[in-house]
Amino acid sequence: MANNTTRCFKCNKEKITYPCEGCSKEFCLMDLTEHRQILNEELHHIINDYDQFKQRIDEQKQNPQKHSLIKQINLWEIKSIEIIQQKAQEYREILMKSSQICINDIEMKLNDLNEQIKQFQKENAFNENNLNYLRNQLKKITEELNNPSNMSIQQNSRSLIDDILFVSLEKKPTFNKWKQNAITVAGGNGKGWNFNQLNCPGGIFIDKNKNIFIANDYNHRIIEWKCNAKVGQIIAGGNGGANRMDQLFHPTNVVVDQQDHSIIIADCNNRRVIQWLNQYQQILIDNIDCLGLTTDKHGSLYVSDYKKNEVWHWKMRESNEGTVVAGGNGSGNQLNQLNRPTFIFVDEDQSIYVSDENNHRVMKWRKDAKEGTVVAGGNGKGRNLNQLWSPEGVVVDDLGQIYVADLGNDRVMRWCEGKEEGEIVVGGNGKGNQSNQLNHPHGLSFDDEGNLYVADSENHRIQKFELIL
């Protein structure tokens, strides 16, 4: 602070003063100290208010049932049940009274019939006509008991109870759209082994710096393509397709461990999941026919086994033992089965989304569920908006919208859970290599800005579809 001899704002005396940057006023040293003390007290009040508000948030998270609207819903439920119970009891009493009257009437008719039967027996004078008469009378009385004409139930379309409607004041989410002409950000120079080429890329991973990690399937290597780079660099494999520790054999997917920055790879034809860290290799999982690979927010690993038709979960830093969390009931199209699971995605709730390739559907398995639900496709192989054709890459956004690489239809689809059909996001313009076309898309990913990346497998390139702001 610069020293000035001027009038203090507080005591109004000529002194050496010091400016306060916040209020732009001049204070002598004593009044400045007092001024700072007042500011500190105000800060403490803010901190106290923050702590109290944080406590309320924590309480609501732990006890969502305490929401004031929940109380209103519970009260409505109790009152509605009371109304229904009162009406039900009223109808029971009416029915029992009416039923008793009916039975009394039938009993009188039955007594009359009995008297006639006794008369015929006593006089021993009856013929076929008399017997038919008795038989018909007994039949009428029986029908009257089984189907009383004075009693029936009709369900009124008018609601018995007052309904309530939950109205959300939130703005409806705006569904993102992307430019239909993509930018090629990796490959695109034909199929080949050069550093500016790819050969049937599969799974992709985008880091926070927009660097692209590519499972370069038919080149048996993992490529890192730096943002805006013209060529990629090999970070795993690239030593021929075989089973040495420094080799890969048709890698299908790759993720980057955010904690130690190692590369985890689904080394498909070597039947293993392998980790590369600074050119050091370690087999994490073996004897697994792995295609899909992903991690959750806890660092756990999820792998799809396309031959056993199941998805496995490993808590890598706690145990080397995995558990089946989806499928595992043989090949089939039932809700507890899968048929060649490929790509997988895990959301914040640890629900698992699986591209069920040969069933042409995407399945969602909630945590600890015994069976899944169909959230995309499931209407046979086809090109309609309610169908998929050999789905591959799958990603779910924060709104719960499901994005699917629809391989056989050369398009990327978006599905909202519970909807009957999806919509085309990009592609869908026929098989081709133009900027608005795809050819067997595989992996999908988003960057932090919402741009969509597609592994355009048969075009041997990675396409970036920019978000329309």
Tokens encoding 217: 């399937």
Backbone angles phi, psi at 132, to 5 degrees: -65, -40
Q: What phi and psi, each to the nearest 5 degrees, are found at residue 221?
A: -160, 160
**How does 125-156 read in b/e, with b if 16+ C-beta sit within 10 Å?**
eeeeeeeeeeeebeeebeeeeeebeeeeeeee
Q: Say how far apart CA 28 and CA 34 lie, in whole Å.
A: 10
To the nearest 10°, the Cα dihedral for 299, 463, 420, 175? 80
pLDDT of 203 reads 97
User: What CA–CA distance (Å, rounded) separates 208 from 453?
Assistant: 14
Largest CA distance in the chain: 142
- B/e letters for 32-62, b = 16+ CB within 10 Å, e = fewer, are beebeeeeeeeeeeeeeeeeeeeeeeeeeee
Q: How far does Cα 160 stand from its chain's mean position?
A: 36
The rounded distance, in Å, linking the Cα atoms of 264 and 202 is 14
pLDDT one digit per residue (tens) for the chain, 469 residues = 445 588 988 899 998 988 888 888 888 999 999 999 998 998 998 999 888 888 888 877 787 776 767 878 888 888 888 888 888 888 888 888 878 888 888 888 888 888 888 887 887 777 877 888 888 888 888 887 787 655 666 666 556 666 666 555 555 566 789 999 999 999 999 999 999 999 999 999 999 899 999 999 999 999 999 999 999 999 999 999 999 999 999 999 999 987 778 999 999 999 999 999 988 999 999 999 999 999 988 888 999 999 999 999 998 766 667 899 999 999 999 999 999 999 999 998 899 999 999 999 999 999 999 999 999 999 999 999 999 999 999 999 988 899 999 999 999 999 988 888 999 999 999 999 999 999 999 999 999 999 999 999 999 999 999 999 7
User: What pTM, to 2 d.p., does this model score?
Assistant: 0.65
pLDDT at res. 308? 96
Report which residue type is found at 373. Answer: T
- Report the CATH fold assignment for 183-465: Neuraminidase (2.120.10)
Whole-number pLDDT of residue 156: 61
| Residue boundaries of the structural domains of the chain | 5-62, 71-146, 183-465
